[in-house]
Structures are given as structure tokens and as C-alpha cells.
Amino acid sequence: MPYIIAFDFGTGAGKCVLFDEKGAIVGVKYTELSYIPCPFGAKGGLVFDADAFFGLFCRLSRDCIAESGINPAGIIAVAAASQRQGMVFTDETGSELYSAPCVDLRGEAALPALLPQAAEIKKITGIEPHGMFGLARLLWFQTHQPALLKKVHRVMMLSDWIAYRLSGNIATEQSAAASSQLFDVNTRRWSSAIIERFGFPAGIFPEVLTTGTQSGTVSHSVAQTSGLPVGIPVFSGGGDTHAALTGMGAVAPDTLCAVAGTTTPVMLTVAQPLSIPHTDTNCHVANGLWSLEANVKFSGISIRWLRDRIGHQDDGSPFVHMAEEAKKIPIGA
């Protein structure tokens, strides 16, 4: 039987999931993630060690395959989804210069330069200026680390980066790139208007792929460390929230869903890029669709904080246990 393996680089956790050809889950491995303060001294800055994190995903893959008991030769494809807004910069050799999660807020220092242009920025990118997006981050580097910025050869979102590490090929996927605030959600391409206005080199932004397009094949070195078969196709995945919409069947206009994770985005699938106050407009992974987003913010991470404070049963499923306990409390209590 053929199998597909998927990585999910979430904000609070990393996962590797093995599926059979009918979409049934055959194996899952999960680990919680933490980040380190920015070595450049950026206020609100958080980063991660790229080699260590990719090694972690390779270990999850090995363990998931081993514990499932399947023949690894049956795995025919791999893809990755990730938290949105997180970014990686690489140099000409392909080495990571900067790797950071969505919660790297160094860009807040650049907001005074962006807010006077907020309406035009939102019209193009679908997003109002915020310190967590790529536009503000690049402006931070432009001001505080110009020497590092000059070394940047490619800019990737985190799902793009996993695909790059798996295959050695660099490209970006539309739903992930749309969370950078450097992307034109109307044309589904990098925004030349934004890139030129703020003086960024156009060449650092890679080719844009439609979700589900093959971006490369698993390299020999990665196969040795991950347990994946060498040469299997690597497909572009995308933003985790939009991948979740697809998993829930929200691939038709006027479908409303909430995706509960570290935060809880409330998403409305639409047939055209609308601009509505207090919502973000994103490219859906389903080509030809967009989404409007409002967000409950740090919901899942708050539950994890509570779990760590009150303790939990050693049954391997503390969140399930907490949910069962919560069911006993009357609504409105």
C-alpha cells in the first residue's frame, strides 16, 4: 500500500504524520517547540537553530515510520505545512542566516514607517501592518543589520524551508507567501510595488508554486537521516491554517471554519480577494479561492500554560483529559 508523509511546523509543536492512500492516519509523532532570544538583541526577537530543528523533524520522521511498522519503501511522497509569518533567510551557499518563528516580533520597531501607508499596504497584501510580518522584519534588518541583509540570497517561509531542506530546491507556496506582507494577494505573486517601494532586492524572493506542485525530490543525505526513501517527490504544502481548511473540506466559497491551534483563526472562504476592516485577506491553498481571517489569538498556548500549571494525569493525553473535565462544567458557570 502506498503512503504519504507530512510535516507540520506549528508555532507550539512540530508533528510528523503518516497517511495511507485513503487519508487514514497510520502514525503520528509530536514534540513541543521552544525558541531562543534573538542574538542580535532585537526587542521581541525570537529565533531557532535551523540545523537542530530540521534534525528534530528528521527524528520525528524516523520514529513515526518505525513505530508504524510499515515498509518505508511504500512511502511515495512528502509535503510540509507550517505556521504562517515565520521566515528563513539563506545566503548564496544555502546556509541559514536567520531562522525565526511567527512570534518573532522584532518588526514592531519598524511600524512607525509603515502605519502612514497602512491602507495601501492592506490593499495590496491583504494585511494591515504588524511587527510579525515579513515586511516589518526586513525593514528591521535594513535598519539594524544591513550587513546581514546584503548577504541574503533567498527568503523563504517555514513550509518552503522544510521543502528546501528535504530536496535542496528553493521555491515558495502561495498561501505561505501571502502571510509575508510582501505578496500581492490579488495576483498571487510577490508584490513588485511593495518590494520596490521599500528597496528590497527582487531577486531574493523565490519562484511561486501552486499548492501541491512538486518542488523537488528527497536528497540522499536527508534520506539517510529521516528514514524517507531517496528520490521521492517533495510537494509544496503551505500555511497550516489553510491546509487545515482543506482537511475540513472548506474548499468552496462562503464556508466558515475555526482552526484551533496555538491561536484560533476564524476563516471565511471567499471567491475573490475582499478587503474588510479588522480582517486579513489570504490566498487559500485551493487555487482560485481566498480567505478572510479574524483571530482569537493565543488560545491553544493558553491551554498549554494552564496544563503546565495544574498538572495532568500521566495517560499521554493531557489535553483530552482537560477537555473531558471541562465538559462537566455547565455553560455559563
Residue 82 C-alpha cell reads as 507550517
Residues whose CB falls within 8 Å of the CB of residue 91, separated by 6 or more in sequence, listed in order:
97, 151, 152, 153
Confidence bin at 167 (pLDDT 50/70/90): very high
Contact criterion met (CB below 8 Å) for 131 and 106: yes
Could you give the CA distance from residue 210 to residue 263 in angstroms, rounded to a whole number?
Answer: 26
pLDDT for 99 equals: 96
Residue 177: is its pLDDT beyond 80?
A: yes
pLDDT tens digits, 185-230: 999 999 999 999 999 999 999 999 999 899 999 999 999 999 999 9
Could you give the CA distance from residue 175 to residue 241 in angstroms, rounded to a whole number?
Answer: 9
Could you give the CA distance from residue 99 to residue 137 in angstroms, rounded to a whole number?
Answer: 12
pLDDT tens digits, 14-40: 999 999 999 999 999 999 899 998 766
Per the model's pLDDT, the better-predicted residue between 306 and 193 turns out to be: 193
Q: Report DSSP letters for 92-117, one per residue.
A: TTS-EEEEE-TT--GGGGGHHHHGGG
pLDDT for 316 equals: 59
pLDDT for 314 equals: 57
pLDDT for 240 equals: 87
C-alpha distance from residue 94 to each of 45, 152, 153, 167 (Å): 23, 10, 8, 12
Residue 240 C-alpha cell reads as 497550516
pLDDT for 321 equals: 80
pTM of the model: 0.89
